[in-house]
Amino acid sequence: MGNLFQIDTVTYHLLVLKDRFPNGINVLSLFSGIGGAEIALHRLGIPMKNVVSVEISELSRNVVRCWWEQTNQRGNLYHLADVQELNANRLEHYISSFGGFDLVIGGSLCNNLAGSNRHHRDGLEGKESSLFFMTIFVYWI
C-alpha cells in the first residue's frame, strides 16, 4: 500500500477545483492505479467530461472501468495500458478532440526510490522509476 494515493488527501488538494469546473473537467491520469484521483473528483461533485487513464495493470484498469460504470459517470473514459504509448501524436489527438486537459495528475512509480520495497534503489534511473520522466514529456507537449 506504499505506492498509492490516499483518496481523502487527494480530495483535499483537488478541492480548489470545485468552483472552477462546475460544468466538468478533462483529466489526464498518469499511472492511475485504481482511480484514486477520479474517485476524489467524483466525491467533490466535479463532473468528469473526459478521462484518459494510463495504467499498466489490467486488474487496476478493470477496477476503474467497473467503478466508472457503477457510479454512472456520464463522461468518456479512455484507457491506455502503457504510459509509453502516450506519444506526441496521441496526446495531440486527445487535445484536439476535447480541447485539452484541465488537470494532469499522476502517481508515478517510485519503486526504485522508496526504501520499503523489494526493488533496487536505483533512483530515477531505475527500471520502474524512470517512467517518471514521461510526466515531464507530457508537460512539454
Please identify which of the residues 91, 104, 110, 113 carries the catalytic annotation. Answer: 110
**Cα torsion for 87, 114, 3, 89, to the nearest 10°?**
0
The Cα-based distances of 84 to 55, 125, 137 in angstroms read 11, 16, 10
Pairing of strands 48-54, 76-80: parallel
Would you call 110 a catalytic residue per the annotation?
yes
- Distance, in Å, from the CA atom of 139 to the CA atom of 141, rounded to the nearest integer, reads 6
Catalytic residues: 110
